[in-house]
Amino acid sequence: MDIGDKIKSLRRKMDLTQEELADRSELTKGFISQLERDLNSPSVDTLSNVLEALGTNLGDFFSEEKEEQKVFKEEDFFVGTNEKLGHQMKWIVPNSVKNEMEPIILILDKDGESRRYAPNEGEEFAYVLEGMVQLHYGDEEYILKQGETFYIFSDLERYIKNINDDESKVLWISNPPNF
């Protein structure tokens, strides 16, 4: 860990000059400058005082919080297969159940279908990547071809059935997570 850069970053976030941080931690501006450039090694007490002036403590400063993943590659995807219904689901944002949205790619075999989703409070969007599907939404049915979308409330039972002669692929996003 680069202590100096982290201290400098915290100081800037608090909109403090080196001199202001030095005054708050009862040190010299020169010492703070050297600390930020990793030219000196402060005692534990001195570092503790500097961190206190920056509104943090030793434990929080040295904790290695893992940054939330923002980009996902195919090797990150979780894949589940339902042979009975004839589909494969790819969770393209792993652990998205903790998020506001849950995107999946649904790959439907010939005559395959998604599971039937019970009514809930939420919204769903889907984009047909390949093939042709039939959306069953309550008592209504809609046919969607490649490049077409649907946007529905999740207030009725719903499912998708492949009506293509080959497999179909659908990007399906639910809010809140539902899959």
85-125 pLDDT, tens digit per residue, is 999 999 999 877 678 899 999 999 999 999 999 999 999 99
Contacts of 170 (CB under 8 A, 6+ apart): 105, 106, 108, 126, 127, 128, 129, 133, 160
Looking at residue 95, what is its pLDDT? Answer: 75
- Would the pLDDT of 26 be above 90? no
Where exactly does CATH 2.60.120.10 map onto the chain? 74-175
75: how many CB neighbours lie within 10 A of its CB? 5
CATH T-level fold of 74-175: Jelly Rolls (2.60.120)
Q: For the chain, what percent of residues have pLDDT higher than 70? A: 98
CATH T-level fold of 3-62: 434 Repressor (Amino-terminal Domain) (1.10.260)
Looking at residue 59, what is its pLDDT? Answer: 87
pTM above the 0.85 mark?
A: no
